[in-house]
Structure 1
Amino acid sequence: MLKKSAANVAGLVLALFFLFPTYWMITSALKPKGSTITSDYDLVPFSVTMSNFVTAWTKPGFLSSLGNSLMVTLTAVLASIIVGITAAVAMSRFSFRGRKSFVLLMLVAQMAPFEALLIPMFLMMRDLQLYEHLTSLVLVYFAVTLPFCAWTLRGFVNGIPIELEEAAMVDGCGRWGAFQKVTLPLLGPGLVATSVFAFITAWNEFLFAKVLIRSQDRETLPVWLSGFQTAFGTDWGGAMAASVLFTVPALVFFLIVQRKMVAGVTAGAVKG
């Protein structure tokens, strides 16, 4: 009983530790200008205002940046899921020369730091005449999220008995029909979990968006968010309010698919 209580207290302290930055962001966004950064920080703001959210919402470029981020992120994630699931099925179900090396390559690709890919990606997009085009971000985010999607979905495919597909093919389904009617529905939790993590990765990316896109009407939300810091100072209240707005799409998506995502993460941890 004592060990269980100690574990619960430790878990609560750890949860509060990770939740405090989010709480600080929200409370700072609700404070009046001039009281955001002070030496005596109030855990509970006594003076609340929505002016910072009005400033963030009316800041030029918000809606266009929101649309650019949604378009780029959803397109890249959708492409990564489609290609990743085909690669996962190939790595899990088919035997071909170099399969183990290919699987290892997927793992190595996930370990490559973004900074190491910046210059090669920039030169490639420049040579392809995609510099200053949102297509370049779609291709970059697709390349970044694809190894993760393929590697993770491979674990979920391995967790589905191949006998189910064989039984479907005995009943008259082809290989594609067995995959579509048997494997794909069972991969639902895995697809949700993988798409959420891929969405967060692409949604929060700043470095490539800053380098490959210079036009204000084509910038994404992370780049737009950096506009609150100018040579005259930083509007911390507006920046915190904009950060809250920035997290809303990802938070809403997470709340919608929360149950399936938890089931998918648990299944992927058991089956590898």
Structure 2
Amino acid sequence: MRRNRDVGEGIIRPHLSVPGRVGLIVLALFGLLPVYWLTATAFTKKEDVFAQNRPFFPVDPTIENFVGFFQNDALLKNLGNSIIVSSGTALLAVLVGGLMAYSLSKFRYRGRNAIMFMFLIGQLIPGALLLISLYLMLSSAGLLYTYAALILSFTTFTLPLTVFLLKGIMDGLPDDILEAAKVDGLSRTATVFRIVFPLVVPGLITAAMFAFMRGWSDLLFALTLAGPDKQTLPAGLTQAFIHEGTADWPALMAASLITSLPLVIIFVVLQRYFVSGLAAGAVKG
């Protein structure tokens, strides 16, 4: 009996010919070269970084750059700030985006198409252009230099992608399921959280990953909207290792490697849900 394949499984396990596999390996090696050079620099002593005869592989590797990261109290605080801001952004984006996607997918009301059009237009506007407006709004609300300022800002810019991704998945949910929940006496809120959200878990995980990555990797908003006590890792790394006319490249590369590890681990662990969510969100109902 033939097994039914999950959504996105064909993307995870593609069938390629030998030339195709060789081509992918070459492209992968080319793409991984900067990552390797970052890693090699992280294990290199500062005085050897710009040596004329620097070998491709570190001859005398050192871990002092990594040790220095964990001995820097300011960077550890930035790490904690990144976890708080990124997690808050992911949770808020999934919650608000999921409710909006359900509304746009399953309800018909005046202005629905206008809202979707505004989301599309919003995707075309660079976030940096809205930074001054956001700064003034958050300052007036008394939220400047707080976690809330960063979480609300990142959520604002991740909502369009989150809503369209989840709407594409919810469009494929049969209305009979929602009608059955209504007959069973479930309220609309209970239907969303007990029926709809469990059925679109891959999409929720995918949306959460996008939002988490936005909060984790952003530099401009973290430098502008967060005070010294609330800045995230990208801003902390910039201020700790890059100074006028000089930079501690090995320490910066080591810190960057440590910073990127959480994203790599999350993607590896949740890769199946990530690809399935993207594939399901691309299917029109």
TM-score (norm 2): 0.87
Is 1:153 the counterpart of 2:166? The answer is yes
Within-5 A mapping of 1:48-67? 48-67=61-80
Checking the alignment, whether the CA contact within 8 Å between 1:165 and 1:179 is kept in structure 2 is no
Checking the alignment, whether the CA contact within 8 Å between 1:77 and 1:145 is kept in structure 2 is no
Counterpart residue number, 1:222: 234
Q: Distance in 2 between matches of 1:194 and 1:143?
A: 13
Identify the match of residue 128 of structure 2 among 108, 115, 130: 115
Counterpart residue number, 2:206: 193
Identify the match of residue 282 of structure 2 among 259, 265, 269: 269
Deviations 1:170-199 (A, max 9, x none): 444444444333322111000011111111
Q: Distance in 1 between matches of 2:53 and 2:173?
A: 56
Q: Distance in 1 between matches of 2:52 and 2:133?
A: 44
Tell me the percent identity. Answer: 35
Unaligned regions of 5+ residues in structure 1, if any? none
Identify the match of residue 58 of structure 2 among 34, 45, 63: 45
Deviations 1:14-45 (A, max 9, x none): 22222222121111111222222345553322
Q: Distance in 1 between matches of 2:126 and 2:54?
A: 36
Runs of 4+ in 1 over 6 A off after TM superposition: none
CA RMSD across the alignment: 2.0
Q: Distance in 2 between matches of 1:213 and 1:249?
A: 22
Q: Distance in 2 between matches of 1:173 and 1:128?
A: 37
Q: Which moved more, 1:85-94 or 1:256-265?
A: 256-265
Is 1:182 the counterpart of 2:157? The answer is no
Tell me the CA shift for residue 109 of structure 1. Answer: 1.5
Tell me the CA shift for residue 100 of structure 1. Answer: 1.3
Unaligned regions of 5+ residues in structure 2, if any? 1-15
Higher relative contact order (CA 8 A, sep 6+): 2
- Count of residues in correspondence between the two structures: 269
Q: Distance in 1 between matches of 2:63 and 2:18?
A: 40
Q: Which moved more, 1:64-73 or 1:254-263?
A: 254-263
Q: Tell me which amino acid in the other structure corresponds to 1:153.
A: L
Deviations 1:117-171 (A, max 9, x none): 1111112122223222232112211212222211211111112222222233344
Q: Tell me which amino acid in the other structure corresponds to 2:41.
A: S
